[in-house]
Amino acid sequence: RTVTAVLGQDAVLPCRYRPQEREQVVQVTWLKRGGPGAAPAEVAVLNPQHGDHVQE
């Protein structure tokens, strides 16, 4: 799913995942797609043990 954001405004980053029985999600990472030939860039990380990180 594509999310469009405006600099200086909040953006909602969706995440939908249904863990299987006895499965635990330990980290969620959102990436920004790069242009042709460019690597994706990390935008935000949610980790319950180490806290949240949002790229400025």
pLDDT score recorded for residue 5:
86
* CA 31 remoteness from chain centre: 5
Distances (CA, A) of 3 to 33, 50, 51: 11, 25, 23
Report the alpha-carbon distance of residue 13 to residue 21 in Å, rounded.
25
pLDDT score recorded for residue 56:
76
Report the alpha-carbon distance of residue 54 to residue 38 in Å, rounded.
20
Tell me the per-residue pLDDT of 7-54, one tens digit each, with 9 for 90 and over. Answer: 889 989 888 888 899 998 899 999 988 889 999 999 999 998 999 998
